[in-house]
Amino acid sequence: MAKRITVDPVTRIEGHLRIDCEVDKGKVINAWSSGTMWRGIETILQGRDPREAWIFTQRICGVCTTVHAIASVRAVENALALEIPLNAQYIRNMIIAAHGIFDHIVHFYHLSALDWVDIVSALKADARAASTLAQKLSPWPKNSYNELKAVQDRLQKFVNTGQLGVFASGYWGHPAMKLSPEVNLLAATHYFQALDYQRRINKVVAILGSKTPHIQNLAVGGVANPINPDSQSTLTMERLYYIKTLIDDVGDFIKNVYMIDVAAVGAFYAEWTGYGAGVTNYLCVPDLPLDRAGVRFDLPGGYISDGDVGSFKPIHSFGDDFFRQGVKESVKHSWYAGDHDLHPFEGETVPKFTEYKDDGKYSWVKSPTFNGRPAQVGPLANVLCMYAAGHGPTRKFTDQLLETVSSLAGAKVGIPALHSTIGRHAARAVRCAVLHDALGRQWQSLVDNIATGDYETFNEPIFPKGEIRGMGFHEAPRGVLSHWVVIENGKIKNYQCVVPSTWNAGPRNSNDDLGPYEASLIGNPVADPNKPLEILRTVHSFDPCLACAIHLMDPDKNEIVTVRTLEGP
């Protein structure tokens, strides 16, 4: 008899996610992904000035804080066919890359490593043996005996207090945990070091964006960073060279720690290359525009169908009809009125909550499709597409990571292994290295451009009478993000965000095809239904963000609920 497992809420993610699985003979045979809350950011935008939409949309999420701001200004600029100065493009690109690096480091170490690493087992490790092993894997200077022993002592002290804090309620000692105490100690050490490196790269976002989370420096038409090499109160060479030291520091961590740890987890958990593929239609968009019009990009994008890298079809720019025409969202299984599939410019979102029904409506997340089919988005889609496009740095870092895995596993591990739960982690590390490489180039482009005497950062937007439409996309840390705006007489008439976690966490679509989370769970092992660690491994590998995935738009501005936030008289 199949047994039903409900994980609600899934933790170490952003937002509210419920996962249901049916398990039979130790394997998942059916799955449902449900977003259990909704929010109202898109509604607030109606009737507002398109120049301020980015400030509101950025509040969709507290994790991918910059991405909705970027997609929003791009959508409005696209509607206006407005070019932006080169300095603005480079500064935005640096923020995008630094934010992505920060996000990927946090995801691997702080949101998902403990699905694979038994932190309690690290207490039993021989710190000297752990250090010897680490030094064979990488030249990282902070793998010394002293570093590892200090972490072990710190953990022991922590455990002795009896209050495990963030480490409470973990599945320690679970039969699916396979790393030796020494490897667990090494990973625990890097967990703590990663806290420092994610902070360093986030400083780049804070310096250029004036603040993080939630940057303040954007404008429709450019950025609000005054550049003047002679004035200390603007973006100076001194600031830019400080940023360069942060970029270089974090590069060492990515190369010598993150890439190696992911390869080691992949090699020690080789069986996880066989689980979690799910939907193998992969969608990503190009990013890091290199010119004023935003038609040439540093990182390519495109679409792969049915896991066949040879089927890659590129997406060229914001105006590319292959992407613009291909996107729809279904609400057949979502708590909205009707069962339509609509293009985002015609998007409609009238909430209609019913009870949770396995074969009916069961989520607040809509179900996006690309040319009628579900698509997986995120670093794996991105890396496979960029690899297929022949992007040099992607090929270099992917091949390098797969070689490290192969040598640790003692067997050749190639691209096909990436279509899996562990492959999503590997791809995220590769993307992190690719972003770091691109960040260095964007920094150089900015410095070189300023050196020519070009200090421009802003072109003023002018809104025409009548209706215009625009779409801005961005390859966010969790994948394809697109904002779609309809503007009438200079005011927002409709605004739709189609978001990475909506693509991946969506329920079944109009054809009842499973969404990517759901499909990826089928066939996963479950050793102990009361401790469904394996389900978490696969779901966490997508880096869910339900705050992003769900937003509500009510075109009639109906009152849905009245909430009293403060006690009145």
Active site residue 99: no
* Partners of residue 487 on adjacent β-strands: 468, 492
CB of 10 to ligand NFE, least distance (A): 14
For residue 458 the two structure tokens come to: 């802003």
Question: Measured at the alpha carbon of residue 198, what is the angle toward residues 100 and 445, in degrees to the nearest 5?
Answer: 50
CB of 33 to ligand NFE, least distance (A): 13
Task: Give which of ligand NFE, Mg ion, none residue 63 binds (C-beta under 5 to 8 Å, depending on kind).
Answer: ligand NFE
Active site residue 385: no
For residue 187 the two structure tokens come to: 């990973």
Interstrand relation of 282-284 and 301-304 (parallel, antiparallel or unpaired)? antiparallel
For residue 374 the two structure tokens come to: 């579900």
List the one residue out of 12, 17, 108, 19 whose CA is nearest residue 526. 19
Task: Give which of Mg ion, ligand NFE, none residue 436 binds (C-beta under 5 to 8 Å, depending on kind).
Answer: none
Among the listed residues 330, 367, 501, 520, the single catalytic one is: 501
List the one residue out of 341, 386, 364 whose CA is nearest residue 513. 341
CB of 35 to Mg ion, least distance (A): 11
Spatial distance between the Cα atoms of 105 and 101, rounded to a whole number of angstroms: 6
Comparison of 41 and 476: residue with beta carbon closer to ligand NFE = 476
Comparison of 193 and 212: residue with beta carbon closer to ligand NFE = 212
Active site residue 488: no
* Partners of residue 218 on adjacent β-strands: 223
Comparison of 332 and 540: residue with beta carbon closer to Mg ion = 332
List the one residue out of 396, 378, 393 whose CA is nearest residue 112. 378
Comparison of 171 and 282: residue with beta carbon closer to ligand NFE = 282
Q: Which residues contact 316 (CB under 8 A, 6 or more apart)?
A: 286, 295
Among the listed residues 12, 16, 18, 68, the single catalytic one is: 68
CB of 551 to Mg ion, least distance (A): 5
CA distances from 542 to 280, 424, 494 (A): 13, 7, 29
CB of 506 to ligand NFE, least distance (A): 11
Using CB under 5 A as the binding rule, the residues of this chain from 521 to 560 that contact Mg ion are 551
Among the listed residues 385, 432, 497, 548, the single catalytic one is: 548
List the one residue out of 330, 338, 344, 337 whose CA is nearest residue 372. 330
Among the listed residues 12, 22, 39, 64, the single catalytic one is: 64
List residues near ligand NFE by CB under 6 A. Answer: 14, 61, 63-64, 67-68, 476-478, 481, 499-501, 545, 547-548
CB of 376 to ligand NFE, least distance (A): 12
CB of 439 to ligand NFE, least distance (A): 17
Active site residue 68: yes
User: Radius of gyration of the chain from Cα atoms?
Assistant: 23
* Partners of residue 32 on adjacent β-strands: 20
SS3 19: strand
Active site residue 52: no
Spatial distance between the Cα atoms of 215 and 210, rounded to a whole number of angstroms: 6
For residue 563 the two structure tokens come to: 């909430």
Comparison of 334 and 541: residue with beta carbon closer to Mg ion = 334
Active site residue 64: yes
67 contacts Mg ion (rule: CB under 5 A): no
CB of 428 to Mg ion, least distance (A): 24
Task: Give which of ligand NFE, Mg ion, none residue 67 binds (C-beta under 5 to 8 Å, depending on kind).
Answer: ligand NFE
Among the listed residues 61, 284, 432, 497, the single catalytic one is: 61
Spatial distance between the Cα atoms of 81 and 68, rounded to a whole number of angstroms: 19
Size of the residue set binding Mg ion (CB under 5 A)? 2
Q: How far is CA 264 from the centre of its chain?
A: 22
Comparison of 88 and 505: residue with beta carbon closer to ligand NFE = 505
Which of 6-14, 79-87, 89-97, 489-497 is the region at the interface with Mg ion (rule: CB under 5 A)? 489-497
Among the listed residues 190, 428, 431, 478, the single catalytic one is: 478
For residue 263 the two structure tokens come to: 């390869």
Q: How far is CA 373 from the centre of its chain?
A: 21
List the one residue out of 402, 424, 429, 401 whose CA is nearest residue 413. 402
Task: Give which of Mg ion, ligand NFE, none residue 427 binds (C-beta under 5 to 8 Å, depending on kind).
Answer: none
Count helices and strands in the chain by DSSP H and E runs: 17, 16
Among the listed residues 367, 537, 545, 551, the single catalytic one is: 545
CB of 454 to ligand NFE, least distance (A): 31
Question: Peptide bond preceding 9: is omega within 30 degrees of 0, i.e. cis?
Answer: yes
Comparison of 450 and 476: residue with beta carbon closer to ligand NFE = 476
Task: Give which of ligand NFE, Mg ion, none residue 437 binds (C-beta under 5 to 8 Å, depending on kind).
Answer: none
Comparison of 171 and 495: residue with beta carbon closer to ligand NFE = 495
Comparison of 68 and 508: residue with beta carbon closer to Mg ion = 68
Using CB under 5 A as the binding rule, the residues of this chain from 492 to 511 that contact Mg ion are 497
Q: Which amino acid is at 78?
A: N
Instruction: Find where tokens 């109906």 sit.
Output: 558
Task: Give which of ligand NFE, Mg ion, none residue 431 binds (C-beta under 5 to 8 Å, depending on kind).
Answer: none
Helix (H), strand (E), coil (C) string for 201-224: HHHHHHHHHCCCCCCCCEECCEEC
Active site residue 501: yes
Active site residue 367: no
Task: Give which of Mg ion, ligand NFE, none residue 550 binds (C-beta under 5 to 8 Å, depending on kind).
Answer: none
Among the listed residues 14, 182, 475, 534, the single catalytic one is: 14
DSSP state of 173: T
Q: Which residues are catalytic?
A: 14, 61, 64, 68, 478, 501, 545, 548
For Mg ion, the binding residues (CB under 5 A) are 497, 551
